[in-house]
């Protein structure tokens, strides 16, 4: 009788270990599965998000949107010496250089500001629109 109880206990323990291992494996699979699908514009997609390609597919963001997403952190706080949007005194000397120069500096980077303000997925046109938005709200 004692052997039967030991055998049943061992079987129960083995079953519990297997169940725990399966649960652990399933939890691991859930944690590392992709959070979404992405396809390139022009390819067949199910419910995936379509991303722009370097050929220009996809809608360009306007200046206000790019400013909110990429420029606000520095140009609202003055981080690393960035001129704050709306501070006409800080912007006057920059504006005197002309919009073409401001846009070129925004694209290439200047001082502590990296190229495109660090917005790697922004096009030159989007950076130009954000620069114009920033300047127009800083006169």
Q: What is the block-wise mean pLDDT of the chain (139 residues), using blocks of 10 residues?
A: 59 57 77 72 59 56 94 93 95 96 95 93 95 95
Q: What is the token pair recorded at 50?
A: 């379509």
**How far, rounded to the nearest angstrom, does the alpha carbon of residue 136 sit from its chain's CA centroid?**
26
pLDDT of residue 34: 74
- pLDDT the model gives residue 12: 59
pLDDT given for residue 111 in this prediction: 93
- DSSP symbol at 51: E
Distance CA 94, CA 90 (A): 8
Tokens of 57: 């597919």
Contact 41, 58 (CB under 8 A): yes
The model's pTM is 0.60
| Residue 53 pLDDT | 45
Each as own residue / partner, the long-range contacts of residues 83-91 (CB below 8 Å, 24 or more positions apart, any chain) are 83/138, 85/134, 85/137, 85/138, 86/137, 86/138, 87/138, 88/138, 88/139, 90/138, 91/135, 91/138, 91/139
């Amino acid at each position: 009788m004692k052997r039967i109880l030991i055998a049943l206990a061992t079987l129960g323990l083995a079953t519990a270990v297997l169940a725990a291992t399966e649960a652990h494996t399933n939890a691991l699979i859930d944690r590392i599965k992709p959070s979404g699908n992405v396809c390139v514009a022009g390819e067949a997609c199910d419910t995936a998000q379509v991303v722009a390609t370097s050929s220009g597919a996809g809608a360009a963001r306007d200046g206000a949107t790019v400013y909110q997403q990429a420029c606000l952190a520095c140009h609202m706080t003055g981080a690393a010496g960035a001129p704050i949007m709306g501070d006409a005194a800080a912007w006057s000397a920059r504006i005197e250089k002309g919009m073409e120069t401001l846009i070129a500096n925004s694209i290439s980077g200047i001082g502590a500001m990296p190229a495109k303000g660090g917005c790697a997925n922004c096009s030159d046109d989007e950076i130009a629109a954000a620069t114009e938005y920033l300047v127009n709200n800083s006169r």
